[in-house]
Structure 1
């Protein structure tokens, strides 16, 4: 078991030293455990260098096959040791940077007050993480294809709104209809997942649709950066409501064509569908759902 522990933690944490800290061993001890596992299997699991530890093809295959069952066994043993209702230990959470800073970081003090034995370990990243392979307990995001072994709880519907700076509108005029957008500069967004420019269609509550086709003057892959580029007067941007909100509130951005918007996938809370869900994960999921409801955050994300 300790050989498998050392392999999985080294693969997930990217090195023997990080795995050693989690296991309470020395890096040399972890390396020796992995070497013994390799000897037993008759294959190399890692390509070792002075700077980096990379999985071989056989190592990647083994990690895919054993990581999830191994985590289930570890969770089951932890539940038995700690009691099903005791929330404790590190909680690894992935979330988008801007949304995380604005909405989830302010929740941490209350969460820690309720559950002082849980250690939130937040990872801020716009990419879509592999919840199970990368060892996350929870991920918060949208537009993710639901892989096997993962469930999703909807937090909010996200509306995408049109905005530009007062300076830009003073120089170029304010569009009064979606057809007017073709004569304006636009800030385009590239999908991190596909690498292609996002193509969005505008709609209104009456069911009408219209193309969104301003002339691109810049391409960005981060909605917070797009909001600040628009505030700097670069052009018109289609922005998720939570990213546009603070700049609309302080006047750096002005919403245009307010009856028109685009839609994207909902904001979800993702976690494993393990039958023995660790208490730390369960209480975090329940806490976030409760705070979203109490603070009315779903309406904020809907613009």
Structure 2
């Protein structure tokens, strides 16, 4: 048997390291003190090194003990998570989800997604944070997130979840006061509002594509940039200029006439959607279930004709 084969020995060692006192650990684990001491000695014998130095007042880890402690914590955490997943699979999903989403989608589509998931799994609770910087949210302990834009961080797992269709829109007043637009280049001198953030592309150029045509790139000098598409929609409604916005956000405005499509045959390249989660952890059942649910929901919700 290797020193890492017996989780009971490792659990006793971690408790001793945390407490520094065998008597106190024995009481908390409801074990006789000699039994706990024998487990520590057995672990040291298996390892072939001294793990704990004892003096009259307290116990201290050796250098080897410090190294083993980190690995022991990781192994026990995985064992506990495995036990939890087995329990969840048998009793239904339970527990708390820490979720995040990109700023605008989180307030609309993602909130509806979470509501449906929680209604289908009444044993689960959730909290939602907003951020356009997904890697930082995972580092801060979030379980999963739904994000729009390119994912460049390989420390997370990104599950594809559809695409956001985008096109040019402006208010009827802005369109009426300018010459008729026949090609993308005619829009270069218009007042532009653009989306900032590296994952969304260059905020000082607009790429457009159309069926059976080469893509075209417009160089623009924005009168305003924003991290959120909702704020861009509001300034477009106020007649500030033109912008590329997602279909899901402006559908109702197009029907009501508050906004109009400009060059309706031309679209901006769609932005990918991903459900992301930590690549370094084995996920509890509730997280795995949410990731699968979110990917299916977003793919369906964002489907629309180009």
TM-score, with length taken from structure 2: 0.67
Task: Give the gaps of 5 or more residues in structure 2.
Answer: 1-13, 19-59, 63-69
Change (3 A) 1:74 1:96: farther
Q: Classify the secondary structure of the residue corresponding to 1:212.
A: strand
Task: Give the gaps of 5 or more residues in structure 1.
Answer: 6-38, 42-62
Q: Classify the secondary structure of the residue corresponding to 2:140.
A: coil
Query: 96, 99, 104: which is aligned to 1:93?
Result: 99
Correspondence for 1:219: 225
Change (3 A) 1:179 1:194: closer
Query: 198, 206, 212: which is aligned to 1:200?
Result: 206
Mark the structure with the bigger radius of gyration. 2
RMSD: 3.6
Query: 144, 149, 157: which is aligned to 2:151?
Result: 144
**Native 8 Å contact 2:99 2:144 kept in 1:** yes
Q: Select between 278-287 and 129-138 the one with higher mean Cα deviation.
A: 129-138
Shift in Å, 1:4: 10
Residue deviations 1:193-216 (CA, integer Å, cap 9, x gap): 699735332111214121223442
Q: Classify the secondary structure of the residue corresponding to 1:183.
A: coil
**Native 8 Å contact 2:167 2:247 kept in 1:** yes
Q: Classify the secondary structure of the residue corresponding to 1:204.
A: coil
Whole-angstrom distance in 1 between the partners of 2:73 and 2:209: 44
**Number of matched residues?**
245
Q: Select between 282-291 and 187-196 the one with higher mean Cα deviation.
A: 187-196
- In the alignment, is residue 112 of structure 1 matched against residue 118 of structure 2? yes
Residue deviations 1:121-157 (CA, integer Å, cap 9, x gap): 1112233343542211111113121423x32221112
TM-score, with length taken from structure 1: 0.68
Residue deviations 1:177-201 (CA, integer Å, cap 9, x gap): 1121123211133226699735332
Query: 274, 287, 290: which is aligned to 1:284?
Result: 290
**Native 8 Å contact 1:156 1:299 kept in 2:** yes
Correspondence for 1:161: 167
- In the alignment, is residue 184 of structure 1 matched against residue 190 of structure 2? yes
Correspondence for 2:34: none
Q: Classify the secondary structure of the residue corresponding to 2:289.
A: helix
Shift in Å, 1:83: 4.7
Correspondence for 2:265: 259
